[in-house]
Amino acid sequence: MVSEPNNWGRFGPDDQRGTLNLLTGETVLRALGAATTGQVVSLSMPIRGATSSAAPSGVPHLRGRPLPQHFMSVDGGDYAAGARAVGPGLRMADDALIVTHHGTTTHMDALCHMWSGEELYNGHPAARVRSYGATRCGIETVGGVVARGVLFDLPRHLGLDHLPVDFRADGELLEEIAPDVRPGDVAVIRTGWPLTWERSREEYWSGQPGLSADGGRWLAARDVAVVASDNAAIGGLNSGQLADEGLADDLHMILLWRHGVHLAEMLWLEELADVIRAGAAGRTEFVFVAAPLKIEGGTGSPINPLAIL
């Protein structure tokens, strides 16, 4: 059993959804008021290319992780032997399968993604996570997320294009940007780090900026439903693409395991940031919508998050 402040038992002994429980009908209806223009912006990285193409390497990803793969049946060079005839003069190309991996495309982590000892979030047995899937806290328990999104545009606040590679954002900085975070919000953290990808792959892989443990605890204390970021791990990474924090301060342990806060990683936030900069001064809120695939027992799923302004 985890000892420091946590949400274990808060939503009942069988809970598998964590702070998503705060997204009641009343909370969702209130969140819808954050949209004022109706403009919709996708916050997803593209899934690009197939096994016969080098195109996936053109999308930011962690070095050494399996690249997103988009299998098609159209020309015999990908998944199946040629396109199907579906009528006189008609042919069909089928998307047969998409394979992704944490760290290679926009995705949401389930509460069974990481844990310590023999227990998942809320004390569920870690032995329930097997090669065929997790029978507790899988991604299928999420359903859909409709909430007020709050953009923490860290580089803009500091007058930068993107954060330095070793930057770790604490609670004091988050408080300066958006002090009015409320229970059930989705905290969207922009580091700007994906901008380095086109300039230099080696720079992108030299590490990543992100939240500090203090920043994660600040958000957990405010009962956010989800923390989303344009980096690969919410927290920062070193040149080995690993977190430097110990177990007590690891962001996944703080948010996923102790507090039941789902994480969404590798978002594309540049368009959203541009739209917000061009809009009403001081505005940080919008409607955040996302739904993972209903993969039973999945530790995560690709998502296409939407911001409705």
pLDDT in tens, 81-124: 444 555 565 654 555 555 555 667 899 999 999 888 899 999 99
> Tell me, what's the pLDDT at 90?
60
- The tally of domains found in the chain comes to 2
Residues 140 and 67 in one domain: no
Residues 224 and 119 in one domain: yes
Residues 95 and 26 in one domain: no
Flag whether 25 is in a domain.
yes
Of 17-26, 111-120, 123-132, 297-306, the least confident: 123-132
What's the whole-number mean pLDDT along residues 193-200? 95
Q: Which of 6, 14, 250, 258 is nearest to 141 (CA)?
A: 14
> Tell me, what's the pLDDT at 286?
97
- Look at the alpha carbons of 183, 119, 212, 44 in this order and tell me if their dihedral is positive or negative: negative
Flag whether 1 is in a domain.
no
Residues 216 and 251 in one domain: yes
Residues 68 and 155 in one domain: no
Average pLDDT, the chain: 88
Residues 149 and 223 in one domain: yes
Domain-terminating residue out of 65, 99, 133? 99
Residues 135 and 257 in one domain: yes
Q: How far apart are CA 1 and CA 178, in angstroms?
A: 33
Percent of the chain surpassing pLDDT 70: 84
Residues 186 and 170 in one domain: yes
Flag whether 4 is in a domain.
no
Q: How far apart are CA 20 and CA 108, in angstroms?
A: 13
Alpha helices of 181-223 — where are they, by DSSP H? 196-199, 201-204, 213-221
pLDDT over threshold 90, residue 32: yes
Residues 76 and 167 in one domain: no
Residues 239 and 118 in one domain: yes
What's the whole-number mean pLDDT along residues 240-247? 90
**CA-to-CA separations, 146 to 91, 113, 120, 151, 295, in angstroms, rounded:** 38, 22, 25, 15, 19
Q: Position 285: which residue type?
A: E
Domain-terminating residue out of 70, 99, 128? 99
Flag whether 3 is in a domain.
no
Residues 261 and 277 in one domain: yes
Q: How far apart are CA 51 and CA 68, in angstroms?
A: 9
Q: Which of 174, 56, 148 is nearest to 105 (CA)?
A: 56
Flag whether 159 is in a domain.
yes
pLDDT over threshold 90, residue 189: yes
| Res. 70 pLDDT band, cuts 50 70 90 | low
> Tell me, what's the pLDDT at 241?
87
SS3 call for 112: coil
**DSSP bridge pairs for 237:** 208
Q: What size, in residues, is the chain?
A: 309
Q: Which of 62, 108, 21, 79 is nearest to 291 (CA)?
A: 108
Flag whether 77 is in a domain.
yes
pLDDT in tens, 125-165: 898 788 878 889 999 999 999 999 999 999 999 999 999 99
pLDDT in tens, 47-63: 875 544 555 567 888 88
Q: How far apart are CA 171 and CA 252, in angstroms?
A: 16
Residues 90 and 112 in one domain: no
- CATH code of the domain covering residue 189: 3.50.30.50
Domain of 204 in residue numbering reads as 18-45+106-308
**CA-to-CA separations, 73 to 14, 48, 52, 93, 161, in angstroms, rounded:** 43, 16, 12, 6, 41
> Tell me, what's the pLDDT at 80?
44
Flag whether 267 is in a domain.
yes
> Tell me, what's the pLDDT at 262?
98
